[in-house]
Homo-oligomer: A and B are copies of this chain.
Amino acid sequence: MSALRASRLRAGKATLPPSSVPEGTRRRILEVALQLFANRGFHGTSVRDMAKALNLQPSALYAHFPSKDHVLAELVRVGHEVHASALRAALLDAGADPVDQLCALIRVHTVLHATYPHLAVVVNEEIYSLSAELAAPALAIREEARALVLQVVERGVALGHFSLPDKGATLAALSAMGVRIPYWYEPSEQLPVDALADVHVELSLRLLRGPREGPIAGPAEGA
């Protein structure tokens, strides 16, 4: 029926963070689902599609997950958990300076979205295909993460390091930079993941500190 359809993601093979899910058929199912859900969406992927990609009968999936929805729910849960725990770990490593803390959070946020773009897309877009019940755990984790960043930003403001035109919009902009990575970025020699993280850290600091007045003197990339 449908002619050649565009893939949402540039990146090729979908991978799950190594220790987030144990090896085995269950993990294989999750990785295949990740690939397909990221590129065609949850509703654009059939159980038969998944089974075919796994070289399994559709019915075999039901020994591992009670429904297609539960596969998505698990991906969304894992994605949120990996993200939240990475943020927490970054914060613990960062010391007490809110600028350092913010940089650490942005770095981790960027690295995760650049390293696991499929998971990022599924977590951010396909969560809306979940019932309220199945989405709830992930949404709770998400709210925690937002609160974490908010707290750091607010401390930075209180200590005179940051100055925001509007808190909600600025926080959203900070998040958006990361969230959109899967749609344009592909790791390359010119811009490996770490370099992208450096750029995003720099951009984040620009967002949070006021701009210079007038024209710019110093050297910076022009190309």
Contact = CB atoms under 8 A, between A and B. Distances in A.
Interface of A: 2-8, 39-44, 69, 125, 127-133, 135, 157-170, 172-173, 175-177, 179-181, 184-185, 191, 195-196, 198-200, 202-203, 205-207, 209-212, 215-218, 220-223
Contact of A207 (B44, B159, B198, B203): B203
Among the interface residues A40, A169, A218, which one has the most CB atoms of the partner chain B within 10 A? Answer: A169
Contacts of A199: 165-166, 169-170
Contact of A6 (B42, B130, B200): B130
A128 B38 CA distance: 11
A77 to B, nearest CB: 15
A173 B185 CA distance: 12
Among the interface residues A40, A127, A206, A210, which one has the most CB atoms of the partner chain B within 10 A? Answer: A206
Contacts of A209: 206, 211-212, 216
